[in-house]
Amino acid sequence: MNDPRLVIDFCGLRFDTPLVLLSGCVGFGAEYTRVKGFSNRDAGALCLKGTTLEPRLGNPPHRICETASGMLNAIGLQNPGVDHVVEQILPTLDFTETRFIANVSGTTVEEYYEVTRRFDDSPIDAIEINISCPNVKAGGVAFGNDRKLSAQVVAACRAATTKPLITKLSPNQTDIAANARACLEAGSDAFAVINTLMGMAIDSEARTPVIGNNQGGLSGPAIKPIALLKVHQVYQVCREHGVPIIGQGGVAGAEDALEFLITGASAVGIGTALFYDPLLLPAVNQGICAYLDRHGLINVGQLTGSLRLHPSPIDSAEDTCPERARPGTAVPKH
């Protein structure tokens, strides 16, 4: 786009647009460049596919299932391993096109550390930590569903790199804000909100799950309302510290992107929508610029966190119904 109004500063990195191509949806940076009309330059950053210490073959088929307004996937982190990515793939990427962010995955804290350490000694711009992986030492519980485990992973990765760390938060937990606070204290520089929601699809004739792994991660427009709420909740933790958020989950057009920015995101992730509209990025960038024009805004950063909430019912009730005052507040006498 080359429109200066779209430029953002993300952890000290210049993104030429607030759009980020999401991990798992664009491979290792070259796949979509084969599509006529597509350019990585239309994105501020691109997240590479999830990478582990050793190569992984991934899950048995079926790995993907289309659902109502969404998609289930259970790829199983198929990848060639961090050494191959650093030595064979990164040298082929054009770092003048966009920023490239590595996505680190693992099944132990030690694996996260080692993969992050390998990416630290590479030209990669930043590192995203996928804490939704199962912890084999804790009976398979996902790191991201326990804030203490989440913080342990972040702290280990922080010790392994000086590059910006982006923690990708799972919505499959009780209190995402508390998890964000723990990760922030452990050294996270930014957050990606949200990862996929866990779901299942059933073949009623066979009476079996459609996905070979039985369950998978749900993405696409179906999860956008949940993602917006989670971004809003995490933003309450981040705003006082100036910590940026990549808002993601169901973005399929400019209006969706604007909603995430207004809710508290500094950047907006696009993933599943690229599968059916690989030339979506220019339209989203243009739509954001048109919104800036309509509202007399100078740059996209003015949108971040500009959400104006309605008064809560209890706030309104306090004015006319003293007995409904919040716990701990004095009730005025008549």
CATH number of the domain enclosing 283 = 3.20.20.70
**Residue 49 maps to a domain:** yes
Look at residue 241 and tell me whether its pLDDT is greater than 60.
Answer: yes
Residue 324 pLDDT greater than 50, yes or no:
no
**Number of folded domains in the chain?**
1
Q: What is the pLDDT of residue 325?
A: 43
Token digits of residue 284: 């989203």
Averaged pLDDT score across all residues of the chain: 93
Quote the pLDDT of residue 136: 77
Q: Is the pLDDT of residue 129 over 80?
A: yes
Backbone dihedral region for residue 24 (phi beyond 0: left; psi -120 to 50: alpha; all else: beta)? left
> CB–CB of 169/207 below 8 Å?
no
What percent of the chain is predicted at pLDDT more than 90?
89
User: Coil, helix or strand for 285?
Assistant: helix
185 or 326, higher pLDDT: 185
Q: 241 in a domain, yes or no?
A: yes
Phi, psi of 166 (to 5 degrees): -115, 120
Confidence of residue 332 (pLDDT cuts 50, 70, 90): very low
d(CA 299, CA 318): 38
Q: What is the model's pLDDT at position 141?
A: 80
pLDDT of residue 317: 52
Instruction: Please report whether residue 325 resides in a domain.
Output: no
Residues counted in the chain = 334
In a domain, 184, yes or no: yes
Calculated CA dihedral for residues 84, 218, 225, 304, nearest 10 degrees:
0
Residue range 290-307: average pLDDT?
98
Q: Is the pLDDT of residue 203 over 60?
A: yes
Domain for residue 136, yes or no?
Answer: yes
State percent of the chain over pLDDT 70: 94
Alpha carbon of 326 to those of 138, 175, 309, 330, 334: distances in Å? 40, 22, 19, 9, 18
Q: Is the pLDDT of residue 232 over 90?
A: yes
Confidence class for position 1, pLDDT limits 50, 70, 90: low
Structure confidence at residue 312 (pLDDT)? 82
In a domain, 261, yes or no: yes
pLDDT at 318: 52
Q: Is the pLDDT of residue 334 over 50?
A: no
Q: List active site positions.
A: 133
With 60 as the cut, is the pLDDT of residue 5 above it? yes
Residue 322 counted as domain residue: no
Neighbours of 332 (CB within 10 A): 7
What domain range includes position 172?
Answer: 4-307
pLDDT value at 181 more than 60? yes
* Whole-number pLDDT of residue 323: 46
Whole-number pLDDT of residue 329? 41
Tell me, what's the pLDDT at 137? 82
Give the tens place of pLDDT for each residue, 12-69. 999 999 999 999 999 999 999 999 999 999 999 999 999 999 999 999 999 999 999 9
Q: What is the mean pLDDT of residues 223-248?
A: 98
What per-residue confidence (pLDDT) applies to 69?
Answer: 94
Q: Quote the pLDDT of residue 134.
A: 81
Question: Is residue 317 assigned to a domain?
Answer: no
Q: Are 45 and 15 in contact (CB under 8 A)?
A: yes
